Homo-oligomer: A and B are copies of this chain.
Amino acid sequence: MTTKHAEITNDLRTGIDQGKYAPGSTIPGVVVLMREYGVARETARAAIATLAHEGLVTPQRGVGTVVRDTTPVALGYKPNAPAQVWAQQAGANAKDETVEAGWEAADHEVAGRLEVPVDSQVIHLVRHYWKGLNVAQIRDQWLPEAIGTAIAQAGTDLSDTASKPEADLYTLMERAGYRPATVTETVVARMPDPSERDTMEVPAGVPVLITHRVTRDAENKPVETSTTVGCADRMSASFTVPLNR
């Protein structure tokens, strides 16, 4: 025999699957489930909690337990033009903002990706990508010392949060004499930690997608690396790769 809360969960889940409870509407509340199934409050709540952690519903105090719209928003992501894509694809109410910029000492991870010595100076940029009222992605980006100074000498100080570069980063790199040739991206997923859940307002049951990127020039030397963390229900990553066989 399955447990009582599992029984209730299954009934509600099939109801959602079959469209009995549409996205945006509410499923039967705690008190209703208590009465209809003859269970205690915590048992009814346990059933709902399972659905919440599966990402199917979002309980809201004073409102009810709302069925999530599980359709992926599918913000396609093209590594070929990382900077501009956001505005095009996320729609009119999208914006992005540099919240942090400056020089810092490379830690082990960043130094390894950029193939520079640990503790050597690198430029670190943190950007927030907004979609409507939410931060949908957070990007941490690092550039090796040589490139940071070369871009500065070409007239753009990346270590200044307030300054608005008038061109995207790859263009700035080219002007400074570094031509990006390839990007390698590695995608993983996990549940958000509390700070991510906080700044991006990730609902329960929604994982984050993490993209680690390394951009290299024609000599295969790293010219940029970044880590992008995004709410998995507000982003997806897409790649087109030629096959050389």
Interface residues of A (CB under 8 A from B): 13, 42, 53-55, 70, 72, 74, 76, 79-80, 170, 174, 180-191, 193-194, 204-209, 215, 232-233, 236-245
* Residue among A186, A187, A193 with the highest chain B CB neighbour number at 10 A: A187
As for how many copies of this chain the complex holds, the number is 2
A232/B185 in contact, CB under 8 A: no
B188/A209 in contact, CB under 8 A: yes
A233 vs chain B, min Cβ distance (A): 7
A79/B241 in contact, CB under 8 A: yes
Q: Specify which of B55, B170, B206, B237 is in contact with A245 (CB 8 Å cutoff).
A: B170
A181 vs chain B, min Cβ distance (A): 6
Chain B residues with CB below 8 A from A188, complex form: 72, 74, 209, 232, 236-237
- Given the known interface contacts A170-B245, A182-B240, the answer about A233 and B187 at a Cβ–Cβ threshold of 8 Å is no
B241/A186 in contact, CB under 8 A: no
> Can you add 17 more A-B contacts, CB < 8 Å, to A185-B239, A188-B232?
A53-B191, A54-B191, A74-B186, A76-B186, A79-B239, A79-B241, A79-B243, A80-B243, A182-B242, A184-B240, A186-B237, A187-B209, A188-B236, A189-B189, A191-B206, A240-B241, A242-B242
10 example contacts (A-B, Cβ-Cβ < 8 A) are as follows A53-B53, A74-B186, A79-B241, A182-B240, A186-B237, A187-B209, A188-B232, A188-B236, A190-B207, A207-B232
A184/B239 in contact, CB under 8 A: yes
Task: Report the bound CA distance from A184 to B79 in whole Å.
Answer: 12
- Given the known interface contacts A53-B53, A240-B241, A245-B80, the answer about A207 and B183 at a Cβ–Cβ threshold of 8 Å is no
Task: Report the bound CA distance from A72 to B188 in whole Å.
Answer: 8
Task: Report the bound CA distance from A238 to B165 in whole Å.
Answer: 30
Chain B residues with CB below 8 A from A215, complex form: 243
Task: Report the bound CA distance from A13 to B70 in whole Å.
Answer: 29
